Structure 1
Amino acid sequence: MDVQRAQDIYDSKDMIAVRLDGKPVWIEHVDAANGMATVQIGSRPTDVQTVGVDRLVEEKH
């Protein structure tokens, strides 16, 4: 995924499924300048990682 798409998903009011290494994640913040995103993994609010947006995959339905 590119930075702009990650930002679009973050800004969207719709629920858009995103995965990191096959696991569902929620985008909590996008750092466009560095191409990074902070994501919550699964449903645990304490399980947060900052990763390159290129590792995120949008699920297509």
Structure 2
Amino acid sequence: MDVKRALEIYTDKNSTIEVKLEGQPVWIENVDEEHGMATVQVGSRPTNTHTVKVERLQEG
């Protein structure tokens, strides 16, 4: 995924778009456009967050 698409998914509050990190479902919590990074919540635990390169995220 690229930064632009990650930002679109993050800012779209009207849709639920499936995103995965290494096969695990995640929620995008923040996108750092300048550095190409995203903070994601893995699974259903709000405390289980990771900051990763957006290229590691997959849609669908």
The equivalences for 1:1-61 within 5 A come to 1-12=1-12, 13-59=14-60
SS, match of residue 41 in structure 2: strand
Query: RMSD across aligned C-alpha pairs, in angstroms?
Result: 0.3
Structure 1's consecutive aligned runs of 4 or more residues displaced over 6 angstroms after TM superposition are: none
- Give the aligned residue type for 2:4: Q
Q: After superposition, what is the alpha-carbon deviation per residue over 1:5-53, rounded to whole angstroms, capped at 9, x for unaligned?
A: 0000001120000000000000000000000000000000000000000
Structure 1 residue ranges without an equivalent (≥5): none
- Percent of pairs identical after alignment? 59
Cα distance in 2, alignment partners of residues 22 and 53 from structure 1 = 14
> Given the two structures, how large is their TM-score scaled by the length of structure 1?
0.95
> Given the two structures, how large is their TM-score scaled by the length of structure 2?
0.97
Count of residues in Structure 1 that have an aligned counterpart in Structure 2: 59
